[in-house]
Structure 1
Amino acid sequence: MGDFWVFGYGSLIWRPGFAHVETQRARLHGYRRSLCVYSFVHRGTRERPGLVLGLDRGGSCVGLAFRVPGELRDEVLSYLRERELVTNVYLERTLKVRLDGGGTVEAVAYIVDRQHEQYAGALDAADAAAVVRGAVGQSGNNEDYVLSTLEHLKALGICDHWLEEVAKRIEL
């Protein structure tokens, strides 16, 4: 089997955790980056959920596409499934992404399952910030997760106005 691509839009951007031989900015049409997943473990608890990012329907999302050597397919997919499918709030899909370098590739991506109990829906920035503010889970403070993600996006020149608005409201 040949090389394959993985699309990252959140923590995979700044902590992919798998071997890859190329990274390119890419745009996924039909899905947007959104704090639409309640976190009961990593950034919150069941009693005080936090929010983490998911790819939700609508719009488009700029992220990174990672090219993975074909011989690492099983290893990398196993790693990603263990990381992303812990509570099955995400669905693994192969979707077309447009690379900034030109051309379109099919990439493995994890989209939110809108039927899952952890799906928070389309929150406005004020409501998302209210959920994030003060939530803490096994992986730390929910505010740090949002602010760190935004910092990494900005460092890559990726603009996300909605996430910026959430961050402003967190810091109030």
Structure 2
Amino acid sequence: MNDPSHPAHDHWVFGYGSLMWNPGFPFAERVEARLIGAHRALCVYSFHHRGTQQQPGLVLGLDLGGSCRGVAYRVAGADWHETHAYLTAREQISGVYRESARRIHLLDGSQREAAAVVYLVDRAHPQYAKGLDLEAQFRLVRAAHGKSGANRDYVLSTVGELKAMGIIDPGLGWIAHKLREGHE
């Protein structure tokens, strides 16, 4: 699955939310990519990065079914240990995400595929926010703030990156519009 033109010890990471606009680690290559079998969803209560226990926020997760366009980062083997430790500390605070290796399709015209580290939401975890309608999502996002900043900024930054990639997510777009307009 890895591209033979790159050393076998390089690793790929798939980003679908804040990793797209704030990876926080060194990478050798950044390519738009598609993951089949999971979709981007605002489905994780955030008690740390974008909310608190008292005022939870909502962040994105890769939920089962469908597909997701995002960004794949190729990390040089020499940087992998430190990058993986960083990602574990960032993504595995509460165990709501399950780290997995999944096949991704690189969308750079090369028809390459790669095995990438992805973070799938654990539907059995108490932070899984199942079935919230857009109004409920908006209310949570509008009010929450955590150690990494305002939940509002997280959603607006993600929607901005998606727009730059030519991706329209109607639900996130609706929430972003309401956040920008200051609607109640």
TM-score of the superposed pair, with normalisation by structure 2: 0.87
Structure 2 equivalent of residue 48 of structure 1: 55
Per-residue deviation, 1:123? 2.5
Q: 2:117 aligns with which of 63, 88, 108?
A: 108
Asked if 2 retains the 8 angstrom alpha-carbon contact of 1:43 and 1:141, the reply is: yes
CA root-mean-square deviation: 1.4
Alignment of 1:8-23 (within 5 A): 8-23=15-30
Measured against aligned partners, the alpha-carbon deviations of 1:43-70 in whole angstroms (never above 9, x if no partner) come to 1111111101111111111100001112
- Residue pair 1:63, 1:158 contacting (<8 A) in 2 also: no
- Aligned pairs, how many? 172
Unaligned runs of 5+ in 2: 1-7
Q: Which ranges of structure 1 fall in alignment gaps of 5 or more residues?
A: none
**CA displacement, residues 109-139 of structure 1 (integer Å, 9 cap, x when unaligned):** 1111111111111423222112212112222
| C-alpha separation in 2, matches of 1:125 and 1:98 | 30
Alignment-derived partner of residue 72 in structure 1: 79
| Partner in structure 2 of residue 84 of structure 1 | 91
C-alpha distance in 2, partners of 1:17/1:26? 19
Give 2:165's aligned residue: 156
Of 35-44 and 91-100, deviating more is: 35-44
Deviation at 1:166, TM superposition (A): 2.2
Partner of 2:3: none
Counterpart secondary structure, 1:76: helix
Q: Note if 1:33 corresponds to 2:62.
A: no
- Which structure has the larger Rg over C-alpha atoms? 2
Counterpart of 1:30 in structure 2: which amino acid? Answer: G
TM-score by length of 1: 0.93
Q: Does 1:168 align with 2:145?
A: no
State the shift of 1:29 in Å. 1.0
1:96 paired residue among 86, 103, 114: 103
CA positional deviation for 1:10: 0.7
